[in-house]
Structures are given as structure tokens and as C-alpha cells.
């Protein structure tokens, strides 16, 4: 089992101590990416990744090595403390640089674990934000550990252990979960956009080259008959709306 850990904290303290506890429950190889040491310049909002392709991002050389690691691994771990009721700027900057995954999701066979710590507030909301982002990337199942550390000498480890073991068991099972209806809707939105009259070039190429335009959802993930029908109806409606 291969894991990539993306650490959005600028230091190795509360959040990292939870990650270390998570690691003690998992089996395999870990690639640690500490965003603070990667010095990724701020996203300058040029839209190139979205419109022309991620390879023309001016910061491609910083971002792509991390993305390649994500593509190769089995399990993704994303960790961040709460800063001003959100993720850290380090993590947000990385997520901004990978916003094209919203249009061109690639991680349908991956599972992820999100770790968020806070002094007292915002942990659930921030974990939910990272969960939603990963689901837009296509990630099949996201587990979350969201903890308030304020004033505690040591953290309650039972929740950490329980969730990380569930994550491990899921990875070991090799099975993929059926998507939520919301995930199917987003799949159909981007598919309909890629097949619209005037599509974004990079999106159109991705959806055609991967063959995803021919499917109701990523082909590796099985849909039952209701979800298949739901996807077909959604796509039909969205195509008409986009016309
Ligand atoms: C710049 C900054 C902003 C923070 N904002 C919040 C906040 O909005 N709410 C909160 O409860 N804790 C906040 N905290 C506290 C951290 O989320 C908390 O201490 C966290 O566990 C730190 O993790 P770390 O040791 O990995 O850096 C903030 C801390 C810093 C440094």
C-alpha cells in the first residue's frame, strides 16, 4: 500500500502528531509532502490550467511532482490545522493550483483520509471543505478525523485509531463504493460541459481522450440500475440546459 501525505501545517506539532498516530495504524510506504518546504508560488489566477491544460501552469514544476505522487498512490492523506476558520494558506494555495481537477476529475479509484486540528472551532467545517474538494477530484471515499486540541496535553487516540483502521480496511478490500447522487450530478455537469457546443479545450480533450464521455460515471465504479438511469436523465437535462 502506498500513501501520500500532504501536510498543510507549517510546523510539525498538533496536526502532525495526529498524522503520526494515523500512520501507526496503517501498513505500507509513506511519501510525506510538507507544503511549507515546497515553496509553491501563489496561484496567480491566470486560468491557464483550467482553459489550456495543467502543463501550461507557470508553477507546473512545483505542482506536478506532487500531483504525480497522488496519481501513483493508493491512499491520500491530507492534513491541515484550522487557520481563521479555514484550511491554511499553504494547503489552499495547493488546492487552487489543482482546481482543474474539478473540471477533469482523475481520482476515481483512490481513497483518502483528512486530518484537521483546531484550538477550539472550525474543525468539522474545514474537514468538510477538504472532503468536498476531494470528492470533486473524483476520490471514491473520504474518511475524516477532525479534532479540537485546545488545552489538551495529549489527544484522545481512540477516534484516530478507529478511523485510520477503517481507512486501511477499505484500502485492503480493493473494492470501490457506489457514488453519491451529488457526485453523479457533478460528473454529468462536467461531461455535458465538455460535450457542449463551445467547450473549454482542455476539458473537451480530457473527457474525450479518457473515454469518460461514453460513460454514466467512471467505468471502474459500478452503478446500480437506478443510479445509471439517474445519470442518464441528469445528463440529458444538463445537455439541454447548456444548449
Ligand atoms: C494563524 C492561526 C490561525 C488560527 N485560527 C484558528 C481558528 O480560526 N479557530 C481555532 O479554533 N483555532 C485556530 N488556530 C489554532 C490552530 O488551529 C490549532 O492550534 C492547531 O491545532 C495547530 O496545528 P499545528 O500544531 O499543526 O500547527 C489558529 C492558529 C494559527 C497559528
Angstrom distance (rounded) from CA 73 to CA 66: 11
Among the candidates 117, 142, 173, a domain finishes at 173
The alpha-helical segments, DSSP class H, found in 26-87 are: 35-38, 48-51, 60-72
Q: Is ligand 1 within 6 A of the CB of residue 81?
A: yes
Mutation pick for ligand 1 pocket among 6, 7, 12, 82 (CB with most ligand atoms within 8 Å): 82
Looking at the fold, whether 152 and 188 belong to one and the same domain comes out as no
Looking at the fold, whether 139 and 55 belong to one and the same domain comes out as yes
Dihedrals phi, psi of 220, to nearest 5 degrees? -70, -20
Q: Is ligand 1 within 6 A of the CB of residue 15?
A: yes
Looking at the fold, whether 35 and 134 belong to one and the same domain comes out as yes
DSSP state of 213: G
Looking at the fold, whether 108 and 53 belong to one and the same domain comes out as yes
Dihedrals phi, psi of 112, to nearest 5 degrees? -135, 155
Question: How confident is the model over 201-243, as pLDDT tens digits?
Answer: 999 999 999 999 999 999 999 999 999 999 999 999 999 998 7
Looking at the fold, whether 195 and 163 belong to one and the same domain comes out as no
Ligand 1 atom closest to 149 (CA): 21
Question: Residue 154's pLDDT is what?
Answer: 67
Residue 153 has pLDDT above 70, yes or no: no
CATH number at residue 68: 3.40.50.360
Looking at the fold, whether 32 and 122 belong to one and the same domain comes out as yes
Per the structure, how many domains does the chain have? 2
**Average of per-residue pLDDT values in the chain:** 96
- Output the CA angle 216-222-228, nearest 5 degrees: 40
Residue 117 has pLDDT above 80, yes or no: yes
Which residue has the CA at smallest separation from atom 4 of ligand 1? 83
Q: Is this model's pTM higher than 0.75 or not?
A: yes
Provide the domain limits for residue 9.
2-173
Give the pLDDT mean for 51-73: 98
Amino acid at each position: 500500500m502506498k500513501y501520500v501525505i500532504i501536510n498543510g501545517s507549517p510546523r510539525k506539532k498538533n496536526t502532525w502528531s495526529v498524522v503520526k498516530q494515523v500512520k501507526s495504524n496503517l501498513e505500507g510506504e509513506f511519501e510525506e509532502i510538507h507544503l511549507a518546504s515546497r515553496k509553491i508560488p501563489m496561484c496567480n489566477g491566470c486560468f491557464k490550467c483550467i482553459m489550456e491544460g495543467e502543463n501550461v501552469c507557470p508553477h507546473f514544476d512545483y505542482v506536478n511532482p506532487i500531483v504525480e505522487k497522488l496519481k501513483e498512490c493508493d491512499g491520500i492523506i491530507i492534513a491541515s490545522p484550522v487557520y481563521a476558520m479555514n484550511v491554511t494558506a499553504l494547503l489552499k494555495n495547493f488546492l487552487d493550483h489543482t482546481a482543474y481537477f474539478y473540471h477533469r476529475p482523475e481520482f476515481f479509484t483512490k481513497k483518502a483520509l483528512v486530518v484537521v486540528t483546531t484550538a477550539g472551532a472550525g474543525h468539522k467545517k474545514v474537514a468538510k471543505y477538504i472532503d468536498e474538494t476531494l470528492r470533486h477530484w473524483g476520490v471514491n471515499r473520504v474518511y475524516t478525523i477532525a479534532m479540537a486540541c485546545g488545552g489538551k496535553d495529549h489527544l484522545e487516540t481512540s477516534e484516530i485509531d478507529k478511523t485510520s483502521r477503517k481507512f486501511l480496511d477499505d484500502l485492503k478490500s480493493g473494492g470501490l463504493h457506489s457514488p453519491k447522487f451529488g457526485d453523479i450530478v457533478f460528473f454529468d455537469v462536467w461531461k455535458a460541459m465538455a460535450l457542449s457546443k463551445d467547450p473549454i479545450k482542455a476539458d473537451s480533450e480530457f473527457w474525450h481522450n479518457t473515454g469518460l464521455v461514453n460513460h454514466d460515471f467512471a467505468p471502474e465504479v459500478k452503478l446500480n440500475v437506478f443510479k445509471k438511469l439517474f445519470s442518464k436523465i441528469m445528463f440529458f437535462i444538463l445537455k439541454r440546459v447548456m444548449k
